[in-house]
Chain A
Amino acid sequence: MQSAYIGKLMEIAEHDATVMHLLADSGTGYDEMFRYNFPKQIYNFGISEENMVAAAAGMASVGFTPFVYTAGAFLAYRSLEFIRDDICFQNHNVKIVGMGSGLSWSSLGPTHHTTEDIAVLRSIPNLMIFSPATPKQVTACVQAAYEHKGPVYIRIGMNNEKEFFDENYTFIPGHNDVLQENGDISIFVTGSILEEAYVAVDYLSKEGYGVNLINVPCIKPLDSDNILAMARKSQKCFVIEEHNILGGLGSALAEIFSTYGLGTSLCRLGLKDVFAAGYGTHAAVRKANGLDGFSLYQRIKEEL
């Protein structure tokens, strides 16, 4: 996803000299590629995320379009007040790109995990939130964020995520992707954990369960029409998210269900209000927290 992000940002930067790629010592080889091509459109603030976020707002006020880019945890938590006051309150055209969504920084532990960002940021007015699942979706989200004149938070994973979309994929903010419509169990999923959701759906399908799989790439604004439509024809709904079950996509669905008086049962599968256990690869940490495809399948089956 990082390479998809930088690739798209370079494409945009080539046509728009006001686009700035801002880093808080968070660069990798991809960013050096950006620097090589656009030396005047990249700046490293050093290890000072809040400073970078507030300065980005200042730059936006002079007509630039900054993309601030570092680990999601250091943006959503450390820089929260700066995102709120300097960017969102004043509706500045800054894109906040948190890399390493969910448990992607698996081996570095909870200080680097981004498993409460949706809860924290969803409550801030003026902020759009995109949560792409695959590299192609990252590319589309970055384009949409660029086209929107206002603050956007994009949570992206790391690298080597599987691709489930083809060349014709289009992303429209506030629209879900119904990936499979095949019964009266609906599974809503957001972010790169989509690949684990597919594994769980495969197991369930093999056992004869009819499952709908809905990807939610835009957390705010949420596609409540689609969510309601899918929920109304379902016996049971599940949410899979690499996030605390408090305040995440599941909570957002619960708000919609209660607002519209839907009695459909809703089961939220994520971190049960805990910091993630374990270290190792991303797959290993997902497994240690019951968020790998097989564990998800088992947890869903228990509820059916």
Chain B
Amino acid sequence: MADIKDTKVILQGLRKKIFLTGFKGGMAHLASCFSCLEILYTLYVDGVLRIDKENSKWRDRDRFILSKGHAGLALYAILNHIGLMSDAEYNSYLQPGGVIGGEPCRRDSQWIETATGSLGHGLSFAAGQAMALKLKKSKARVYVLLGDGEIQEGTVWEAAMSAVAMKLDNLVAIMDCNEIQKMDFIEKTIGEPRWRDKWESFGWHVEEVDGHNIVSLRDCLLENNEQGKPRLIIAHTIKGKGVPIMEQNPNWHFKLPKSKKEKMAFAQALDISEEEWEA
């Protein structure tokens, strides 16, 4: 595992890269990308997911599904960072003739397990994969990242019931718990969510972790599930993490900086030079 200081520099660099790519493309869910960046980093870079970089179709690979597909740019940035997506592909984000868009798409990269974007699909898909892998006696695990707003979708709860009934101890759901959805705070929208009570009452083993602490995340993600039980990791995160004007502010769900003041705030937070703005 890399030195923590080095990792912070890498993550800062990834945030800058995601911002510049999104800004150039003219559209990105930056705040959502930034809230789950450490989670994605830990999964792909820090040795949680067992994948074969030479073979995307390896039968016993661990699966990862980004159910909150609007953070797709962060996932693409990570895939690019570890060499599973070329610079040309990554930099084509939303460009004419480009090959990647605002939501992850299996059509666009062999490393994407399933196309997401419409919320509330990923956990059911992941449960189907986990069930099939168990039937095939594979040791592979299935990780799925859900947004805490996404969990308002009814199918998430259908899948939550199924995963328990199917005893999917090879399934780990991670909730990017940034407490904000598109229009407002989660609590203002659906009341006090009491996630732990809800998921535990459905029969899941629930753990909580600081979603920006890669050491805790790694330990937690690598734990084995209790036998016969799916596991939910509530990762407490800050929406817009790394750019103070964006942090925990619902206005930034789907917004890019426009005014000079806003651009300055991004430039300062992400250490963006004038040349980089120009480019």
Contact = CB atoms under 8 A, between A and B. Distances in A.
Interface of A: 40, 43, 45-46, 48, 50-64, 81-82, 85-86, 89-90
Contacts of B132: 58-59, 61-64
A62 B115 contact: no
A45 B131 contact: no
Interface residues of B, number: 28
Given A40-B135, A89-B115, A90-B115, A57 B158 contact: no
Given A81-B118, A89-B115, A57 B162 contact: no
| Residue picked from B115, B128, B131, B159, most chain A C-beta under 10 Å | B128
B118 A55 contact: no
B161 interface: yes
| Residue picked from A56, A58, A81, A86, most chain B C-beta under 10 Å | A58
Interface string B221-252: 00000000000000000000000000000000
B12 interface: no
Contact of A54 (B59, B117, B125, B135): B125
A55 B128 contact: yes
B114 interface: yes
19 contacts: A45-B162, A46-B158, A48-B158, A48-B159, A48-B161, A51-B158, A54-B125, A55-B125, A55-B131, A55-B159, A58-B124, A58-B127, A61-B114, A61-B128, A61-B132, A62-B136, A82-B121, A85-B115, A86-B124
Contacts of A89: 107, 115
Contacts of A57: 114, 125, 128
B115 A55 contact: no
Nearest to B69: A85
| Residue picked from A40, A61, A63, A64, most chain B C-beta under 10 Å | A61
Contacts of B107: 89-90
Contacts of A50: 124, 155, 158
Contact of B124 (A43, A55, A90): A55
Contact of B128 (A56, A81, A85, A90): A56
Contacts of A51: 124, 127, 155, 158-159, 162
Given A55-B131, A59-B131, 17 more contacts: A45-B162, A48-B161, A54-B128, A55-B159, A56-B128, A58-B124, A58-B129, A59-B132, A61-B125, A62-B128, A62-B129, A62-B133, A63-B59, A63-B136, A85-B121, A86-B124, A89-B115
A57 B106 CA distance: 13
Contacts of A63: 59, 132, 136
A89 B128 CA distance: 17
B150 interface: no
B172 to A, nearest CB: 15
A234 B190 CA distance: 62
Contacts of B125: 54-55, 57-58, 61, 86
A124 B233 CA distance: 36
A82 B115 CA distance: 11
B126 interface: yes
B82 interface: no
Interface in B140-163: 155, 158-159, 161-162
A54 B124 contact: yes
Contacts of B162: 45-46, 48, 51, 55
Interface string B154-190: 0100110110011000000000000000000000000
B158 A61 contact: no
B48 to A, nearest CB: 20
A132 to B, nearest CB: 27
A64 B155 CA distance: 22
A262 B53 CA distance: 56
A266 to B, nearest CB: 37
B113 interface: yes
B183 to A, nearest CB: 21
B232 to A, nearest CB: 17
| Residue picked from A40, A50, A52, most chain B C-beta under 10 Å | A50
Given A48-B162, A90-B115, A59 B128 contact: yes
B129 A54 contact: no
Contacts of A54: 121, 124-125, 128, 155, 159
A207 B84 CA distance: 72
A90 B114 contact: yes
Contacts of B155: 48, 50-51, 54, 82
Contacts of B118: 81, 85
A55 B127 contact: yes
| Residue picked from A55, A63, A82, most chain B C-beta under 10 Å | A55
A89 B113 CA distance: 13
